Chains A and B, each alone.
Chain A
């Protein structure tokens, strides 16, 4: 590799260093690279790689050792906040979707059994949805509704009656094709519902309490809040700490 190209590429890598360091040592760094190049007859590509790796390692170290400028501190904090926010929302969505897995399986199972000729009244109420133990569990309930949204049969009750979601959701499900909804019949009861319309106009619904998943979401939010706090502290630390300026030129 020719000296010109070698030095051009190496000079580009000096951008990894803080400006003050570059101004202080640029000529000496280039001179050292020039001498290293001149001493070798071959292997200049490998030599360049070694120099680039050195720039990456020591350049980043010099940057970490240098207090952040206000704009950089703000940009770093903003970028970290954005990344953490996206990660937190994504994680929350993943946890929420996990709540739909069992209801979806339950709906598929009931539809299959109905297709095999089973009667709607195979579903008999055995559990109470408002019961705290049920709300904390991973149990699912299933129910079948007529085309008007009135319950025909269910495997659980809500305060002694069949669970009865607002009738308006059923025609909307047929229109939009969106089969997964969240239903909150009362303050502490939040349910992940999966609805499947049947050819005869009825609907099969299965649901699961969101309480266990909301607890997981809460733990995730707390983790991300702590991570966010640490990132801001780190950025603040890099901004506020003092470090000696580079040695002045004589």
Chain B
């Protein structure tokens, strides 16, 4: 699906849901439920939120469908080159924000499980 926004920076900043989905797909193609499982480590996400967000990522060319499972119940998704560049740019943006916070004396607090 073509889009007018081809520069990674045009897509920034990403919403937490978009960032979590792209990050989940960064190490290879996955089906929807697997994406949701991994994304839930960062953000609260139900199936509707997942597929609504995935649809917008498909439309803007950051993600593509790669095929169906053997039983044809699951569709697999993969991040595109543009999607990977957007993810990289967002990670850099977040790193700059973290560095700025640290310069101001903000330190992460250890959270006990």
Contact = CB atoms under 8 A, between A and B. Distances in A.
A17 B48 contact: yes
Interface of B: 1, 32-33, 36, 46-52, 55, 58-59, 65, 67, 73-75
A250 B46 contact: no
Given A53-B46, A61-B52, A32 B65 contact: no
Interface in A168-224: none
B64 to A, nearest CB: 8
Given A50-B46, A247-B59, A247-B65, 20 more contacts: A21-B51, A21-B52, A25-B51, A25-B55, A29-B48, A31-B32, A31-B33, A32-B33, A35-B33, A36-B33, A36-B47, A54-B47, A57-B46, A57-B48, A58-B48, A58-B49, A246-B59, A247-B1, A247-B55, A250-B67
Contact of A62 (B32, B50, B52): B52
Interface of A: 17, 21, 24-25, 27-29, 31-33, 35-36, 50-51, 53-55, 57-59, 61-62, 244, 246-247, 250
B68 to A, nearest CB: 9
Contacts of A57: 46, 48-49
Given A35-B33, A244-B59, A27 B73 contact: yes
A65 to B, nearest CB: 8
A246 B59 CA distance: 7
Contacts of A59: 48
A51 B52 contact: no
B55 A246 contact: yes
Contacts of A36: 33, 47
